[in-house]
Chain A
Amino acid sequence: MSIIFIALGVPSQYNPPMRQVILVLLGLSVVLNAGQLALQILEHQRHPSTIAFHSLGDKFKGLETVFSHVRAVGYYTDKNIDEPLVVAQFEQAQYLLAPTVLDLNHTDYAWVIFDCTSPQEAFNKIKELGLQPLKMNNFGIILAFNPQAHRLKP
């Protein structure tokens, strides 16, 4: 053991056994950590698309060009916003569309995004609010226009 410590540069007067044990344990932790890290990386390389919440913002792609000079828009959802998946989708939409501010469940803006449990629910709500649906994408996200919008800034 002493030979190892001399090789590691630990002065001979300063290597009581317990300190040697700590150093050995640190060395072992490097081996354990590195092994685990390698396995984690291999797993991630094999299954690159398994990350939770990582492509939710894609559903809103294209809207950033529509909102390029719009300061704030409404975002309506009838889903439970306390669900992690729902709030993650909202926040990723916010990130994708920034610097346009998305006002959750407020519809008195010129533009309102609808992300509902079904397109029918969304269209019912749009009709109820007196908005005009403009476009729906493959993910069921609907963009509507509010002809009576009076609140254009947050």
Chain B
Amino acid sequence: MMYLFALAVAVALGYCTLRLIVAGRLSFYLSLFLGAALGLGIIGQIIFYLQLLGNNFNHFLPPLVSLFLLVVLFWLNKSLKIQSHKNSNGLSLLVLILLSVPLWLEANYYPLGGWDAWSCWNLKAKFIYLAEDHWKDIFTPILWRSNIHYPLGLPTINVWFWHWSGVSQSVPMLNAVVLALLTAGVLLLGLQELKVSQWISIVVTLSVFTLAFGNTLSISQYSDILFSLYLLAALVCYLLSRDLKDNRLLILTAVFTGLLSFTKNEGLAASVILTLLVLSQQLHRPWAFISALIAVALPTIIFILWMVPPNETFINGLATISKPSTFLRLQYVLVYPWFEFISLKWNGLWILAVVGLMLAGGQAMKKPLNIIGLFVALYLAVLMAYYQINTFFEIGWWMSMTFNRIVFALMPTVFLWLALSLFRKDA
């Protein structure tokens, strides 16, 4: 019950903020799903700032600040005149409710989540919530196995819920289900807002979110699903801003890009690439975008400049002779992804996506849709370079453990691109 209350506060915060930015521009349900994603990000940032200021988890301030902010947002929203959109999203909502069943059943099967859930993400949350004034012990090199250099987006969200319902494994478990449903919802409703028919949107969304392997990764309590959500939300808002010729949606793109940067280190790389691509396509009056981005990415900037400990799992293979970056490693790095994409666990979805995008041809590479293709190419190139340069881990083991999560997080975005390239009504 308290979990639902905590979720409702987050959703209300996000929804009201979103309404202030893009009043009436989006359909109610898409606003609700984007608002929920935004609200969770806002809550996480409140926890982070209060933790920094107090150097301790204060049990009084997070609810006080959040509820005060909510009251202010309600008051500001009161004066807004919102156009009503008549949408028939009943079927889409039914699909999302149905999707919640397998997610919930599998989440219960893995109550502790995957390895990195207990080793990294939920461990950080426990330090923030329980360690009082020595919460920064989470950055001690002794804990190098726990990715101590990763940012705190997901842990701070989990801490918000723990504050209301007590420390329990059910919270990260439920949050994983909620984040997966939000991602599915943003894809499904975002496609419809971008003029893909409801039925086709449903088929595309189901093809991604019924995948057994994807279902397992969604409920693993990793930050990959949060990455996936914010990346998708940023791109949906960007494409809508171009579609509706409304720069307020560009501000929302900046907000989600900023939140993306605090999900994990790959999220930081992704947000930098996305920012450069958006600015290259949208050079007219970029300052609003940049200002919003800096404001939302401030926790990431603070984390990088003043908090992040040295990455204990990094060896620069270009500057060492003990573990050099070899040509053999490069060959492996370049070949492995192809085997991943054709792996049976994806049921041919990546092959289908590539074939579909090739068929779409010019349509897929036309502005502004080409931003997705360029993003995916640059992002994978950056990650490949990192795999090549960082020789701390044996490359075979490392890629087999991590690369599937990277492509899983990209999947909703790639299928957004595919569906818009092939099935948009005015294509």
State the A residues within 8 Å of B (CB): 7-11, 14, 18-19, 22-23, 25-27, 29-30, 32-34, 36-38, 40-41, 44-45, 48, 51, 53-54, 57, 71-72, 87-88, 91-92, 94-95, 98-99, 101-104, 154
B203 at interface (Cβ–Cβ under 8 A)? yes
SS of B interface (majority): helix
Task: Flag if B122 contacts A26 (CB, 8 Å).
Answer: no
Closest to A55 in B: B112
* Given A54-B110, A154-B140, 14 more pairs with CB closer than 8 A: A9-B197, A19-B423, A22-B352, A26-B352, A37-B102, A37-B211, A37-B215, A41-B102, A51-B110, A54-B111, A91-B118, A91-B146, A92-B118, A98-B131
User: Which residue of the partner chain B has the closest CB to A48?
Assistant: B109
A29-B207, A95-B126 known; A22+B347 contact, CB < 8 A: no
Query: B80 contacts the other chain (Cβ, under 8 Å)?
Result: no
Q: Is the CB of B118 within 8 A of A95?
A: yes
Subset of 18 A-B contacts with CB under 8 Å:
A10-B423, A23-B200, A33-B212, A37-B211, A38-B102, A40-B106, A41-B102, A44-B106, A48-B109, A54-B111, A94-B143, A95-B119, A95-B126, A98-B126, A99-B131, A99-B138, A154-B140, A154-B142
How long is the Cα–Cα vector from A98 to B123 in the complex, in angstroms? 7
Min CB distance A117 to B, Å, is 21
Residue B210 contacts which of A30, A51, A102, A154 (CB distance < 8 angstroms)? A30
Q: With a CB–CB cut-off of 8 A, which chain B residues contact A103?
A: 142
- The reply to whether the CB of B349 lies closer than 8 angstroms to some CB of chain A is yes
The count of chain B contact residues (Cβ–Cβ below 8 Å) is 49
Does the CB pair B200–A53 fall under 8 Å?
no
B106–A41 touching, CB < 8 Å:
yes
1/0 contact trace for B97-141 toward A, CB 8 Å? Answer: 000001001100111100100110011001100110011011010
A29 engages B143 (CB within 8 Å): no
Which residues of B in the span 191-222 have a Cβ within 8 Å of any Cβ on A?
A: 197-200, 203-204, 206-207, 210-212, 215-216
B85 contacts the other chain (CB 8 A): no
Cβ-defined partner of A29 (8 Å) among B106, B112, B126, B352: B352
Q: Is the CB of A26 within 8 A of B203?
A: yes
CA distance A34 to B126 in the complex (A): 35
Contact with A along B143-185 (1 / 0, CB 8 A): 1011000000000000000000000000000000000000000
- Mostly, the A contact residues are helix
Given contacts A9-B197, A91-B118, contact A33 B207 (CB under 8 A): yes
Q: Which 8 A-B pairs have the closest CB atoms?
A: A9-B197, A99-B131, A33-B210, A98-B126, A95-B118, A44-B109, A8-B199, A37-B212
Query: With A99-B127, A99-B135 as given contacts, are A8 and B115 in contact (CB-CB < 8 Å)?
Result: no
Q: Is B63 an interface residue (CB 8 A)?
A: no
Q: Give chain B residues whose Cβ lies under 8 Å from the Cβ of A41.
A: 102, 105-106, 109
B210 and A54: CB pair below 8 A? Answer: no
A99 pairs with B425, CB closer than 8 A: no
Residues on A with beta carbons closer than 8 Å to the beta carbon of B71 = none
Query: B residues within 8 A CB of A36?
Result: 212, 347
**Shortest distance in angstroms between B180's beta carbon and chain A's nearest beta carbon?**
13
Q: Is B362 an interface residue (CB 8 A)?
A: no
Which residues of chain B from 374 to 390 have a CB within 8 Å of any chain A CB?
Answer: none
- Cα A34 to Cα B106 in complex, Å, equals 14
In the assembled complex, the Cα of A101 lies from the Cα of B347 at a distance in Å of: 42
B17 CB, min distance to chain A CBs, angstroms: 32
From known contacts A8-B197, A30-B210, A37-B210, infer whether A154 and B137 are also in contact, taking CB-CB under 8 Å. Answer: yes
In the complex, A32 Cα to B352 Cα: how many Å?
14
Known: A9-B197, A33-B210, A95-B122. Contact between A27 and B203, CB under 8 A?
yes
Let me know if B396 is at the binding interface, CB within 8 A.
Answer: no
